Amino acid sequence: MNEQALTAALVDTLRVADNDVDALLALEALSRAGSAPAGEAIIAFLRSGSEPYLAHPALERLARRAPAVLIPATEDEHPAVAAAAKHALLREPTDEALPFYLRLLKSRSAEDIATGLASLGRLSSSEVRVPLLKALAHRSPSVRVAAAEAIRRRADGSWVSDLLDAIGALRREEKAKKKDFSTIIESLCSTVVDKAETPQRERLMQGLDDDDARVRRTCIDALGRVGDEAAVTILCQRLDDIGASAPLVWRDAVVAALGQLGDARAIGPLRRLGAHVTAKALRQLKALEAAPDLVAALEQAKTPRDASELADELARLVGPGDQHWPRVGLSSASLPVRRAAALQLATSDPEAAVAPLRKLLGEVKPGDAIAVAEALVRLGDEQGWEGFSKALADDPHHWNASAVASACANLRGPRAHALLLELLPRISHQYVNDVCQAMAAQGADLLPSLISAATAGEGVNPRHTQALSEFRDPAGAALLAPLLLGTHPLRDGAMLSLMKTPDARTSEALVAVLAQATHGEEVERIVETLASVATKAAMPALQDALRRGVAVASVLHAQARLLDDGSRSLLIEQLASQDEECRSEAAGALLQLADPAAGRPLFDLLLRETELSVVHTALAAWLKSSTTNDVEVIEGLQAPGTRAFVLAGLRQLEGQASASGF
């Protein structure tokens, strides 16, 4: 049957449909036709007021397949029809609906204009550039913001010059009318940085001389991101010309850009400017020759924050050639320099670092001792634990405690376990997660101690449950699975942990405890957990649970994920279930499989189904499992006026739409 005749027959079927399911199926079929008569039939159904929500999915598909058919309906005299058509065209904007979006820009409503601009930002058409840029001059501030957001989404490298011109126009208007467009300008500047490409280098370099600091900063950042060699030369020259007298924002932008560019030619100008402001960039450039500069800057640091930042950059300074600076740094008069040098030496020459680290442990402040202590413990030196104790004695509940927990995340063994178990109940609440994450990093080795500590008192501290829920080591599944039995106080934490630990060992442990479960709630809980992590070895247990009607939805999804002959047959069996949820979940699982063997059973379900929720899912599953050559499709086309005919027509139109790229 050709499309024209099929569409006419489907229109007649929709007109006489006497229930929601038949109407829905006819609408779904017509939406795949994409012709004017099909669109008119869907619109007529909307005008009739017969359960308009049934037509909304069809309208959205029609908007994707043939938006031109739907555009006239956006001006329909029936408000509900016009609103539904607009909603469908706006949900997934397409280039073919460009006239509709441009019409929105002529509205008197700022909200409509903003909606149109947002849609333009999602199109690929080159025709959107002019209206989007023009909207930056609109009288409504909200429209300008919407235009900037749409431009950010749509623009590419070819827009950079136009965007810089638009920024200039906004700046002139700011000055002339004494308005504040800083939010819009910042958005456009950010877009320039993100979208800039090498071909825009000359235009970006021109921006280095702009009167507006925002534009200069934007062009500097963009040049740094582009990574052009010519940009290195000009930025270095500017840095040498202006030097320390440059405005901080401009200077910092140039320094950051040179660090990103990764060109060693920038090392000289950066060193001349001063390591106190170029430390990060020098470290990015692996400028070992600048180590003395960084050491001197650290020795002269004026604030603890400056000292901390410089010490961090110095400790991370690595590069080609002789790693001599840490040894030189050990003899510095500055304690922060000696600390940074010792920490670096712990990486480059561990044996030589032990003695300096031990000495530092007695010299640095408790908070600064934590990194030193961690380095010592990593090197196998027991004195590191004394450093942790020193830090905790100074601050047992807050920052030091959090830093010790984070350090223990990188350590292993009984002492790390004991320290974390000690911290968990006493640390301030905002740092509890740090301890939990560090405990989880220990793996299954910590679980016996954690479970024992949690159950030692009369009640369980919620923090123990939280910590348990973070574990992801399948080696601990055999310890956690039994906690799901009965009313164990750590049951919820164990369940959360197991559900996030997919592994054969997890599955095996859960199957073992499932055999021990005697109460309905226990069985439901264990099956839910097992379904989320099950391997094929657990399939018999899941199939047994399905036959008993336990956690049906979860089991069906697990079977679809595992996919074997046994699960396929059980899923198909559930299509005949008396329970609506079972039928829907089985169809949803078969949707994931897209198995041709499920095509006929799903077709039969659709012929008799009366629940819309099941029809939606079953239809999607059938379309993925069937072809236009299936017997039921060929036979259905020979029976106009029946549901089989509608389904067969829908399948044929779906095939044609897919072949056309929809």
Rounded mean pLDDT, 342-357: 88
Rounded mean pLDDT, 617-624: 94
Contact 232, 261 (CB under 8 A): yes
What pLDDT sits at residue 114? 96
Structure tokens at 424: 């968990």
Instruction: Identify the burial level of 573 via C-beta atoms within 10 angstroms of its C-beta, where 0-12 means exposed, 13-18 middle and 19 or more buried.
Output: middle
- Give residue for tokens 């189904």: 609
Contact 393, 408 (CB under 8 A): no
Contact 253, 220 (CB under 8 A): yes
Rounded mean pLDDT, 399-407: 94
- For the stretch 146-176, pLDDT in tens is 999 999 999 999 999 999 999 999 999 988 9
Give the percent of the chain with pLDDT over 70.
Answer: 96
What pLDDT sits at residue 563? 67
Contact 508, 529 (CB under 8 A): no
Give the percent of the chain with pLDDT over 90.
Answer: 52
Structure tokens at 53: 């929500």
Distance CA(448)–CA(484), nearest Å, equals 16
What pLDDT sits at residue 111? 95
Distance CA(207)–CA(214), nearest Å, equals 10
What is the enclosing helix (H) or strand (E) of 149?
Answer: helix 141-154
Distance CA(349)–CA(412), nearest Å, equals 22
- For the stretch 482-541, pLDDT in tens is 999 988 889 999 999 999 999 999 999 999 999 898 888 889 899 999 988 888 888 888
Distance CA(1)–CA(381), nearest Å, equals 84
Least confident residue range of 35-39, 224-228, 357-361, 503-507: 224-228
Rounded mean pLDDT, 98-115: 95
DSSP string covering 480-515: HGGGGSTT-TTHHHHHHHHHT--SHHHHHHHHHHHT
Rounded mean pLDDT, 9-14: 94
- For the stretch 70-81, pLDDT in tens is 999 999 999 999
Task: Assess whether pLDDT exceeds 60 at residue 254.
Answer: yes
What pLDDT sits at residue 449? 94
Task: Assess whether pLDDT exceeds 70 at residue 660.
Answer: no
Rounded mean pLDDT, 631-646: 91
What pLDDT sits at residue 240? 75
Residues 6+ positions from 115 with CB-CB distance below 8 Å = 90, 104
Rounded mean pLDDT, 398-406: 94
Distance CA(197)–CA(525), nearest Å, equals 55
Q: How confident is the model at residue 235 (pLDDT cuts 50, 70, 90)?
A: confident
Task: Assess whether pLDDT exceeds 80 at residue 427.
Answer: yes
Three-state SS for 306?
helix
Structure tokens at 205: 């370099």
Ramachandran area for residue 178 (φ above 0: left; ψ -120 to 50: alpha; else beta): left
Task: Assess whether pLDDT exceeds 60 at residue 37.
Answer: yes
Contact 577, 583 (CB under 8 A): yes
What pLDDT sits at residue 484? 93
* CA 473 from centre of chain: 24
Taking residue 425's Cβ as centre, other Cβ atoms within 10 Å add up to: 14
Structure tokens at 593: 């499989």
Least confident residue range of 35-49, 422-436, 532-546: 532-546
Taking residue 310's Cβ as centre, other Cβ atoms within 10 Å add up to: 25
Task: Assess whether pLDDT exceeds 50 at residue 322.
Answer: no
Structure tokens at 312: 């961090």
Task: Assess whether pLDDT exceeds 80 at residue 302.
Answer: no
Compute the chain's Rg from CA coordinates. Answer: 34
CB neighbour burial string for 280-305, b if at least 16 within 10 angstroms, e if fewer = bbbbbbbbbebbebbbbbbeebeeee
Q: How confident is the model at residue 214 (pLDDT cuts 50, 70, 90)?
A: confident
Distance CA(158)–CA(89), nearest Å, equals 28
What is the enclosing helix (H) or strand (E) of 291?
Answer: helix 291-299
Rounded mean pLDDT, 20-31: 95
What pLDDT sits at residue 324? 65
Per the confidence metrics, is the pTM higher than 0.75? no
Rounded mean pLDDT, 290-303: 80
How far is the CA of 502 from the CAs of 361, 469, 473, 507, 509, in angstroms? 43, 14, 10, 8, 12
Distance CA(425)–CA(464), nearest Å, equals 8
Rounded mean pLDDT, 541-561: 80
Distance CA(381)–CA(373), nearest Å, equals 9
Per-chain mean pLDDT for the chain:
88
DSSP string covering 180-225: --HHHHHHHHHHHHHH--GGGHHHHHHGGG-SSHHHHHHHHHHHHH
Q: How confident is the model at residue 243 (pLDDT cuts 50, 70, 90)?
A: low
Structure tokens at 283: 């470290």
Task: Assess whether pLDDT exceeds 70 at residue 318.
Answer: no
Task: Assess whether pLDDT exceeds 70 at residue 567.
Answer: no
Task: Assess whether pLDDT exceeds 80 at residue 602.
Answer: yes
- For the stretch 428-456, pLDDT in tens is 999 999 999 999 999 999 999 999 999 88
